[in-house]
Every structure is written in C-alpha cells, then in structure tokens.
Chain A
Amino acid sequence: MTKGEIVAGCLAPHPPHLVYAENPPQNEPVAEGGWEQLRWGYERLRESLAGVEYDAIVLLSPHWQTYIGTHFLGLPHFKNLSVDPVFPNLFRYHYELDIDVELSQQIHDRAAEAGLSVKMMENPDFRVDYGTITTGHMFNPEWDKPMVVISSNRSRDYYSVEVMQEMMMELGRVTREAIIASGKKVVVLASNSLSHRHFTTESEIPEDMSKEHITSHAMHLWDMRMIEYFRTGQAQRIIDEMPEFTEQAIAESDGGGLSWLLSTLDIPKYPGILHGYGTIIGTGNAIVEWPARNHKEVEE
C-alpha cells in the first residue's frame, strides 16, 4: 500500500462569526457581512488547496472539551442542528458531516498503544460542537470530504501547559503515523484562535466592524510574535514558548490544537503561509497553511 501523507496542516480558527457573516443557507441568522479579512483568508486557503487531492480532513476542536482523555467521533454520519451556547444569536447551523471512522479508529488505536487515554464517541444523539462545524464549513463549505474529529483534552486545566503539550505532541505523532499507515492523503486542521481575551459586550449590530479590534496591545504583540514564527518556519520556537504564550495571551492554544498540529507536521522548519489575520470580538485569529505536500523531504 502506498504511504499516506499529510498534504497540508492548517491553523483554522472557528469563531462562529465567520459563518454568520457568510450567510450560508445552513445558518439561520442573517448578517450584513463582517470580518472580511478573515473570510478572505479562508478563501485564499481554499484556493491554495483547490488543486490538491486529499481523502479526509482531520480536525481537533477546542470546543469539544473532554476531561477524561481524548475522544474521536466514531459513527459514519452526523446530522443535527448546532446552536452556539455563547453566541446563539449568530450561529444556528444545520449540519451534516461524514466521518472517516476507519481513520478515526486507527488514530485512536495508536494513541491507546502510546499510553494516551482515548475513547470513541458512538452515541448517535451527540451534537457535534460548533467549533468543528465552523472550521469545517469555512474550510470546506461543500462538506464533501469525510472528517476525523478529535476532542480537546483539557490536560492544561488539570495539570499545566507543559503537560498538555507533552500529551498533544504525542497525539500529533501518532496521528501522523496513523495517517501514513492508512495510505490516505489528509489535511490536518487545528481549530483555534491565538490570543483569546474576548470583549464582554457585543455591539448592537454584531458585524459592525467599526467596533472590532484586538482587546489589548499585549495581545497584539503576542499574536504578531506567533505569526512571525509561523511565517519564518520557526515552529520549534512556538513549541518552546507555548507556556508563556498560552498563559499571557489567554490563548486558545490551551486546548492543545496548535501543539498537536505542529507535531503532526513534525515541527515544520519551512514557512507557513499566512492567509489572513483578524480579530473577532477582540480575540486574535490567524489562518495559516503549512504546505507539507511541498516539503516531503523534510517530513521523511
């Protein structure tokens, strides 16, 4: 069997505002636009991968929060209504998505062998979290690729950023190995923001862009520091500085997605492509692609 590969790894944030602003038919609320810089960033990401063949999307979402290990969606199809419990005024999305259960199980099994606590989620009534749905929609609005959806184990909350990262690095490693062993071509997505301090008020018109900006200068500095590392192939520095970044920028990297992503890519030394950066209700969000398909020699 041919070896599988990760064709791209992407940082693909999930604030529901992006779907809201796109006005897709699946979402009930209607917007007058907004957050264009990020939405155009997602467009560029989609264009970048338009000619690339791949079989599945593997996604880690910080909004499926599990405290007892890492879980994987384990049924072939999910269909339901996803309503954001924090921004229900913006996100009420009717979703249908297919799961690559075989690949999910393979990653699950390798993670178990590596000593990680894991579980398959096989309850058909389960509602897929809105982070998965938002990133899934923005990355692939046609929903024509099967997915592997991985929960965010909250080991950072239980222990520390360092422990979280150690576990996510291991999960990333086994994810990569499982993908290679599967013979499939895969895109991996970490669905998280960078700095994650929200505004605690919402403007009368949520998409009023005159109100949108980063919550503080310190958050901006951290976001730009991370983006500079993304753009210059310094993934190891991101890993090294993850504890400070996560704690000082209240970053959503606390969910482990970014560490996991970089680990699946074997800590890339090549530059990531910054497709877009913008703030959403004060949080910092970057859309970044590591085109692993062009750097196979680095991976192998």
Chain B
Amino acid sequence: MSDGELIGSYIVPVHPHTVLAPEQNEGWGRLRDAYDLAAQRIKDSGADLLIIYSTTWPSIIGHQIISDPNPEWVMVDHDFHDLGSIPYSFNVDEKFAHEWNKANEKRGLKSRTISYHGFPIDVGSVVALKLLNPDNTIPAVIVSSNVYANRSETTVLAKACMDVVKATGRKAVAVTAMSLSNRMFTTHIEPKDDRIHSLKDDEWNRKILEFLGEGRLEDVGQLSRTIHQQIRVNKVVAFKPMWWLSGMNQNRNDLTGEVLAYEAIHGAGGAVVHLDPTPSGTGDKEYDEDDVEYFAGERNVLDGEAAQADFEKDNSEPHAGTTQNSGPALWDPTENKGSVNTDAAPKPVGAYPHARRVGDLLYLSGVGPRQPGTNSIPGGPIHDGNGTPLNYDIKAQTHAVIQNITRILEEAGGSIDDVLDVTSFLVDMDRDFQGYNEVWAETLGHVGPTRTTLAIRALPTPIAVEMKVIAKAPAMD
C-alpha cells in the first residue's frame, strides 16, 4: 500500500444559511455556489476521506472524534432556528476515527471517540458535510475543537491525524468549518441588509484571504492569535483551525490557494477557500514557532502521576503505521543455573537473564532506563517512531538505569553498594556525558566502582544510556 496523503484542504463557513436559505441573499447564494464547486472538486479529486475540524463543537476533555458509523438526527441551530431544520445522516469512517484516537494518545494528547445514538453533530460539521459530500459517498471523520488547546496541542492533533492518513494510504481532504471574523449582528436583520459587521473586520478578512489566496497557510497560522484579538468575538473556541490546517499541510507556505467566495453571514465573515498542495513556486519561509511533535503540556490536573505515566508509556510506543520502528520484541528472561531475574526490572530484548551469579560475583546484562511493566522511558525516548530525534533528559534516564540496577541487585539479595565495576554506553557523548556524570557522582560515585564510559552508535531501544555491571554477590546461605 502506498503512503496516504492530503490531496486538498478547504475552509468553509459554518452557519446554516448556505443550506437552508441560499436564495434569500445574493451573498449567501454565492457561498452556496462555492460550496457546490468545492464539492465537485473533491469528488473529481478521487478523495476517499473527508476530515472535518469544526469550531462549533467545543470540547473540554481533550479532543473528541465521532466514531458512530452512521450518525443521524435533525439539527436545528441555536440562533437561526427560524431558518428551519437540517436532517442529516452521515457516513463516518469508524476505523479511521479509532486509529486517529490512538495516534493522538501516542503523541501525548487526551482524546476519545464518540459513538452514541443521538449525539448532536454540531452545526458547522452538519453544514460542511451536507454541502461538500451531498451523496455521502466519501467517508468522513469529525473532530472537536478543544476549548483549552493551544497551538502545540492543535498542531500535534494534525500530525497524529496525518500519521494515520499516511499509514492507511488514504487520499484525504481536510476541512475547517469556521468563520473568519465572527462578529454577527446582535439583532435581527433582513437578509438583504447583510454585510460584514464592520469595515475593520472586512479589511482583516481580506488580508487573511490574500494570504490564503497565495497559499500562505502557515503565515495565517502564525497570525492566529493576532487575528483572534482583532476580529474575533471571544467565543469558547479561538481562531485555532488555522493551526490545525497548517499542521495537516506540514506548516507549508507555498500551497496553491484559491478563494472561491467571500461573503457576510449575519455580519460574520464566511469564505470558501481551496488550498491545493501543489507548490505555488513562491518559496517557503522560516517559522517563528516550534515544530512540535509531542504534546507535553498541562493535561494532568486530575491525576498527575498517572497521567504522566500514561504519557511516557504512550511515547515509548511507535506511531501508528511506523512498524519499522516498533522496537525489538520483549523476552522473558532466561532461567539457567545462577540466573537472577525479577519483575521489578524491564524485560530483556533477547534471550538472556537480568543477571547471573558465578562464584562470588554477579554479572548483570546491560541495563537501560526502560520501566518494568510499562516499558516507558523516564526522560523520554531519544527519537520517535520515524527516527526523528527528540529532546530527552539524560539525567532522568541515568537515574532510571541505576534504579533498575538496584532492583536486580536487591533481587539477588544484595544492594547497590555491591557494585564493583561498570561499563557505561552513551549514544551521544558530547551531549550527555556531563548530565550522566553528575548523576553518577550523586549515586554510584559514593559506592566507588571502577568505570569505563564508551560512546556507541545506537542501542536496541530508543534510550541514551546503558550500563554493564559486575557486582559482588551476597554470601550464599
């Protein structure tokens, strides 16, 4: 199966006027025409997945993904209920939803799938899917917009999604259901009187659309906070969708953009924009903000230690669809005469024991920082499932190695004080020697074993340090 890819992106308006009342205002009609054109382009593109990020579905517990294969109900807008009702019956890619959920968790995000009869699909998603996928021929997924999510979380959400798109070989189209300026008139207006709420909002909208028309998506993402301050009513969801859409497009600035329509909907700025991944030739730019791979922000207010353990566990595992980096299989330690094994140490990655006693000496197999049970790596792995280097904490890893050594020695009836000789292996001597050496001085430095430290190219798991230990064996009873 070939790698999946994002074959297009669209920005579409959320209010129900384009479905229920396009004939009541020329601008609404033009938005509807643009919606129909976008639908035709999507159909012609051979897309096999629509991914909707909707600003009208706020969430609190991480991100939520619809996984009900056939959500059906009748949607009525909270404000525009007098325009009528929109019955819906959608074709949701349940499997993709679950895979995306897993990929989110592996990248440190809180996430869950939603499949309940009668769950209220939000107005933005309903409008987008009704118009972009009128025959329901293309399966879709819908994700919420987390109220508390910042840029890094939203960017990682996109990367997790693309992990699954690539791994499953999909030809996906990303859609953000959103307004540009979102200030509506606060009183009823006649449809014929609709216009952008203020000149200022209109000018900002046109600047945003100028950027998008040039394919400069990441530039708009970088301006998200400014745009939010300038032309957005502070509703629960900020101007986040550009972070997500840019993340879906590898934070590129050289897409081929086209504004299909821009009009007012009850004062808010509604636009249909098509972003094609074909490079526009404008050249890419440097970016001001970090390109985040994992979300490590505050999500553990409820149960800090457990949440951190979950995060570490998740990040010790490969990303969806990157089986080449899934790491070696874990083995039960071998049992031979003199073997010392314990559940309190991580499982071996081959057929060997944790330690072996010969005479008065204990020979330990190479010990790393992986944690028993979870296989997580304190301080984080040194690279992700794709081999992309990650930031990690050598001190935390070194502490964890010495903890594991202590556990094995205690299983043998001894202690860390019995260590006689250590050979240490570091995968990055320049970066890590100092931190490793500091932890050594605080711990084994007080015990006093001889030591040799070597730089090596790699270790079997994504860890930075491993130690080979010879210790004095405790007296036999």
Contact = CB atoms under 8 A, between A and B. Distances in A.
Contacts of A282: 301-302
B34 to A, nearest CB: 24
Contacts of A281: 60
Interface string A104-130: 000000000000010101110111010
Given A68-B79, A157-B234, A203 B302 contact: yes
Nearest to A129: B78
B68 to A, nearest CB: 10
B66 to A, nearest CB: 10
Interface string B179-199: 000011111100000000000
Q: Which of A66, A68, A200, A201 has the most CB of B within 10 A?
A: A200
A88 B298 CA distance: 23
Contacts of B60: 86, 198, 200, 281
A158 B266 CA distance: 14
Nearest to A167: B186
Give the 9 A-B residue pairs with the shortest CB-CB distance, closest first.
A125-B85, A201-B302, A81-B118, A123-B81, A117-B187, A126-B76, A125-B74, A199-B302, A88-B116
How big is the A interface, by class?
35 or more
Given A66-B79, A127-B76, A202-B61, A158 B302 contact: no
A158 to B, nearest CB: 5
B61 A201 contact: yes
A86 B59 contact: yes
B62 A67 contact: no
Interface in B233-292: 233-235, 266
A199 B233 CA distance: 24
A236 interface: no
Contact of A211 (B59, B82, B144, B303): B303
Interface string B432-457: 00000000000000000000000000
Contacts of A85: 57-59, 119-120, 122, 144
Nearest to B62: A200
Contacts of B119: 83, 85, 88
Contact of B82 (A67, A81, A119): A119
Interface in B78-97: 78-79, 81-82, 84-85
Nearest to A153: B186
Nearest to A158: B233
A20 interface: no
B120 A215 contact: no
29 contacts: A64-B78, A66-B79, A67-B186, A69-B187, A69-B188, A71-B78, A85-B57, A88-B119, A92-B116, A92-B117, A117-B187, A117-B188, A119-B82, A123-B76, A123-B82, A123-B85, A126-B81, A129-B78, A151-B78, A154-B235, A155-B186, A158-B183, A199-B302, A200-B298, A201-B61, A201-B302, A211-B302, A215-B301, A282-B302
B110 interface: yes
Interface string A257-294: 00000000000000000000000011000000000000
Contacts of B78: 64-66, 71, 129, 151
A124 to B, nearest CB: 8
Interface in B20-76: 57-62, 74, 76
B235 A157 contact: yes
A157 B186 CA distance: 11
B114 interface: yes
A297 B61 CA distance: 47
B235 A200 contact: no
B307 interface: yes
Interface in A55-101: 64-69, 71, 81, 83, 85-89, 92
Contacts of A151: 78
B299 interface: yes
Nearest to A213: B302
B392 interface: no
A112 to B, nearest CB: 11
Interface of B: 57-62, 74, 76, 78-79, 81-82, 84-85, 110, 114, 116-120, 122, 144, 146, 148, 183-188, 233-235, 266, 298-303, 307
A66 B84 CA distance: 16
B110 A68 contact: no
Contacts of A202: 61, 302
A201 B74 contact: no
A196 to B, nearest CB: 10
Nearest to A80: B118
A71 B186 CA distance: 12
A201 B186 contact: no
Contact of A68 (B114, B185, B234): B185
A200 B148 contact: yes
Nearest to A151: B78
Contacts of A64: 78
B184 A199 contact: no
Given A71-B81, A87-B61, A200-B302, 11 more contacts: A64-B78, A65-B78, A68-B186, A86-B59, A86-B61, A92-B117, A154-B235, A157-B235, A199-B302, A201-B301, A201-B307
A203 B299 contact: no
Contacts of A122: 81-82
B186 A158 contact: yes
B188 A200 contact: no
A199 B58 CA distance: 15
Contacts of A127: 76, 120
Contact of A201 (B117, B118, B266, B303): B303
Contact of B299 (A88, A157, A201): A201
A200 B186 contact: no
Contacts of B114: 88
Q: Identify the interface centre among B82, B116, B298: most chain A CB within 10 Å of its CB.
A: B116
B82 to A, nearest CB: 7
A217 B350 CA distance: 50
A203 B303 contact: yes
Contacts of A92: 116-118
Interface in A226-252: none
Nearest to B144: A85
A129 B144 CA distance: 18
Contacts of A89: 116
A156 B116 CA distance: 33
A109 B234 CA distance: 29
A214 to B, nearest CB: 11
A81 B302 CA distance: 30
Contacts of A126: 76, 81
Interface string A122-140: 1101110100000000000
A95 B53 CA distance: 30
A158 B197 CA distance: 12
Contacts of A154: 233, 235
Most B CB atoms within 10 A — which of A85, A87, A127, A155?
A85
